[in-house]
Amino acid sequence: MSLEKIEGIMRRNLDNRNMGGVYLKGELECICNELMKSKVIMIVTGFVIKDVLVGETDGPLGAVALANALLKLEKKVIIVTDKYSVDIVKKCCLEVEIRNRIDIEIIKETDIEANSLALLKQYQPSHIVAVERPGRAKDRCCYSMNGDDITHLVPNTDILFKYAKAMKIVTIAIGDGGNEIGMGKISNYIREHVAYGNLICSEFSSDYLIVAGVSNWGAHAIIAGLSIMCNKRLLHDIDTEKRLLYSMAECGAVDGVTKLKTPTVDGLSLEENISIIHELHFALECTNQFTKK
């Protein structure tokens, strides 16, 4: 089985971020294999936009789509986010009708270490996944892609991942720019090739990493890979993608690039985002192992 076609689709737009030279061969397949054998998955998401003090459209959509797919595989899923993105996450869950099937936790801004340990002990995840979640840089601060310090707005979920790794919980991350949790795995590349790379590069290195043109697309690629492995359609359709994008904007989410409440992601149009879903479904139809269900 080859997932190269799916990897190619999720990598679109990476050149525009100076991340086109990153290619982690086989990482998607490893992640799909891990999630197939997982039991309890904790998904962490939410990236606040400093200028408007609300979460962006990249992250929550991918996190909820992945949660929905994992629920179809009869896994237990918990989503962890912050106060800036919790309403966005809840709205997406309502759109795909899983709000009553998952737990949503808001990471506390105080007693972070105790809170992180309590969450891990309460849910005992086998795997933890970050989808477009800001990561701490070497100086212990969080930064936007443009180098703006957002530390005071971002509860430190790096601690959650560091404790998870120490507890032998598999850590997985999805990012697109270098400043997200997990990107420490390619820190040398980020520091050399990405604007402000020395400043913004996330320190934490996840066990497995997806680098996608948009983090939502990375989550969709994982879902497509899982679909192949279980021979079952797990990826939502184009109409659902539209509903999710519009519903996020309606509840206040903004495009992380334009800062506008529009059904767009990272400055990329509604049509560009929908085209990824279309191409992933086409790739699945072209895969011999996959059967329409």
In a domain, 291, yes or no: no
How confident is residue 286, by pLDDT bands cut at 50, 70 and 90? confident
Q: What is the pLDDT, as a whole number, of residue 289? A: 58
How confident is residue 55, by pLDDT bands cut at 50, 70 and 90? very high
How confident is residue 290, by pLDDT bands cut at 50, 70 and 90? low
60-81 pLDDT per residue, tens: 999 999 999 999 999 999 999 9
pLDDT > 90 in the chain, percent: 93
Instruction: Please say if the pLDDT value at position 272 is more than 60.
Output: yes
- Contact yes or no for 210/218 (Cβ under 8 A): yes
Instruction: Please say if the pLDDT value at position 29 is more than 50.
Output: yes
In a domain, 42, yes or no: yes
When the pLDDT of each residue in the chain is averaged and rounded to a whole number, the result is: 95
Using CB atoms within 10 A of its CB, is residue 122 exposed (0-12), middle (13-18) or buried (19+)? Answer: exposed
Instruction: Please say if the pLDDT value at position 256 is more than 90.
Output: yes
Q: What is the pLDDT, as a whole number, of residue 287? A: 74
In a domain, 98, yes or no: yes
- Cα 2 to Cα 94, 133, 286: the distances in Å are 34, 28, 12
In a domain, 290, yes or no: no
How confident is residue 108, by pLDDT bands cut at 50, 70 and 90? confident
In a domain, 274, yes or no: yes
In a domain, 49, yes or no: yes
Using CB atoms within 10 A of its CB, is residue 141 exposed (0-12), middle (13-18) or buried (19+)? Answer: middle
What average pLDDT does this structure show over 229-236?
95
Instruction: Please say if the pLDDT value at position 259 is more than 80.
Output: yes
CA dist 68 and 227 (Å) reads: 12
How confident is residue 292, by pLDDT bands cut at 50, 70 and 90? very low
CA dist 226 and 228 (Å) reads: 5
Dmax (CA) for the chain in angstroms is 51
Q: What is the 3-class SS of 34-51, one letter each residue?
A: HHHCCCEEEEEECCEECC
What average pLDDT does this structure show over 15-30?
92
Q: What is the pLDDT, as a whole number, of residue 293? A: 43
In a domain, 88, yes or no: yes
Q: Which two tokens stand for residue 30?
A: 């490893």
Residue 248's domain spans which residues? 4-285
112-153 pLDDT per residue, tens: 999 999 999 999 999 999 999 999 999 999 999 999 999 999
Instruction: Please say if the pLDDT value at position 159 is more than 50.
Output: yes
197-217 pLDDT per residue, tens: 999 999 999 999 999 999 999
CATH code: domain of residue 193: 3.90.1640.20
In a domain, 293, yes or no: no
Domain count, the chain: 1
